[in-house]
Chains A and B, each alone.
Chain A
Amino acid sequence: KQEVTQIPAALSVPEGENLVLNCSFTDSAIYNLQWFRQDPGKGLTSLLLIQSSQREQTSGRLNASLDKSSGRSTLYIAASQPGDSATYLCAVWEGGSEKLVFGKGMKLTVNP
């Protein structure tokens, strides 16, 4: 059974730092991996989708990498801002199923 882990569960940093958020998964047979952002009381906003054949994707200050063989993905946030404060979740599409398996998320606080 696929399991997705995000450690740590929470992170508090000063504004301006470059950040690396980690995501690990137990089964490398995935179709793709998706990173989301969730603000309190809101739905999830898609940040980046990495197909299984890709190694990374970039959008603005965000860069996500995928290493299927080691079961890891990282989300890099450059020059963090207070507006980046949110919970970040990663999720993988299981190979052979139509289900997206989520990590429990990492709550990020960027202090001014």
Chain B
Amino acid sequence: DGGITQSPKYLFRKEGQNVTLSCEQNLNHDAMYWYRQDPGQGLRLIYYSQIVNDFQKGDIAEGYSVSREKKESFPLTVTSAQKNPTAFYLCASSTTGGVTGELFFGEGSRLTVL
């Protein structure tokens, strides 16, 4: 089945540690996105990538890093510089981006900082 796979589903981190969230898609989509969801704040864009080896900062990129070495994969690293990393993280992909693309989401990863 085609889709977007995020792992792990739940992750616990001690303060000061970096963690990497995985996102893999087999939809052959060019564009991939990372969003953060907090209660009462809606979804906020962290990073996005429209093509391999290229990515752009979203609205809340500070404390996060990404890579796009393969079309299918867009991992997100939450660094120790992120001051409030506890949140629900959602990865998404679309065919061509904003002009015509429908956005599809993975099941999410919940990160808790202890």
Most buried by A among B40, B105, B106: B105
Residues of chain B within 8 A (CB-CB) of A34 are 102-103
Instruction: Report whether A43 and B90 are in contact in the complex, using a CB–CB cutoff of 8 Å.
Output: yes
User: Which of B12-20, B71-79, B92-100 has 4 or more CB atoms under 8 Å from chain A?
Assistant: B92-100
The majority secondary structure among interface residues of chain A is: strand
Chain B proximity of A26: nearest CB distance (Å)? 15
Chain A proximity of B1: nearest CB distance (Å)? 14
**In the complex with contacts A102-B42, A102-B43, A43-B102 CB distance below 8 A:** no
Residues of chain B within 8 A (CB-CB) of A91 are 43, 103
Chain B residues proximal to chain A, CB less than 8 Å: 4, 6, 31, 33, 40-43, 45, 48, 50, 56, 58-59, 90, 92, 97-108, 110
Chain A residues proximal to chain B, CB less than 8 Å: 31-32, 34, 36, 41-46, 49, 51, 89, 91, 93-94, 97-100, 102-105
